[in-house]
Amino acid sequence: DVKVTQSSRYLVKRTGEKVFLECVQDMDHENMFWYRQDPGLGLRLIYFSYDVKMKEKGDIPEGYSVSREKKERFSLILESASTNQTSMYLCASNLGAGGRDTEAFFGQGTRLTVV
């Protein structure tokens, strides 16, 4: 079974802190994604990566950065956490160059609260 594992299920951070959300997949997928999920807005793409050390902005990249030093790991970084970044964060991965035709597998999510 494909496994996408997010390092934390729940996280509480203070405003201004630097926050790292980690995601690891074990199926050698080329593509990895970070989304945030908010009520009524669905899943919004923050960043995605089609290869190691490669990243592309999604629809809402402001206030976030990412790192992909190894194929299996994709980190989301909140440089200076703010209360409007309180949300559920979902990591996903899928297979294939471009990966448009294969389904994405999701982690269990990290519920981040910024106080």
Partner 1 sequence: AQKVTQAQTEISVVEKEDVTLDCVYETRDTTYYLFWYKQPPSGELVFLIRRNSFDEQNEISGRYSWNFQKSTSSFNFTITASQVVDSAVYFCALNDYKLSFGAGTTVTVRA
By CB under 8 A, name the binding residues for partner 1. Answer: 33, 35, 40-45, 48, 56, 58-59, 90, 92, 94, 99-101, 103-109
**What is the nearest approach in angstroms of partner 1 to the Cβ of residue 11?**
15
Tracing tokens 């299996």 back to the chain, one arrives at 72
Q: Please, which residues bridge with residue 51 across strands?
A: none
Residue 47: CB minimum distance to partner 1, A: 10
The residue (of 36 and 81) whose beta carbon lies closer to partner 1 is 36
List Cβ neighbours of 89 (8 Å cut-off, separation of 6 or more). 6, 21, 34, 35, 36, 37, 76, 109, 110, 111, 112
User: For the chain, how big is the Rg over CA atoms in Å?
Assistant: 13
Task: Report, in Å, the least distance between residue 22 CB and partner 1.
Answer: 17
Nearest CB to partner 1, comparing residues 45 and 77: 45
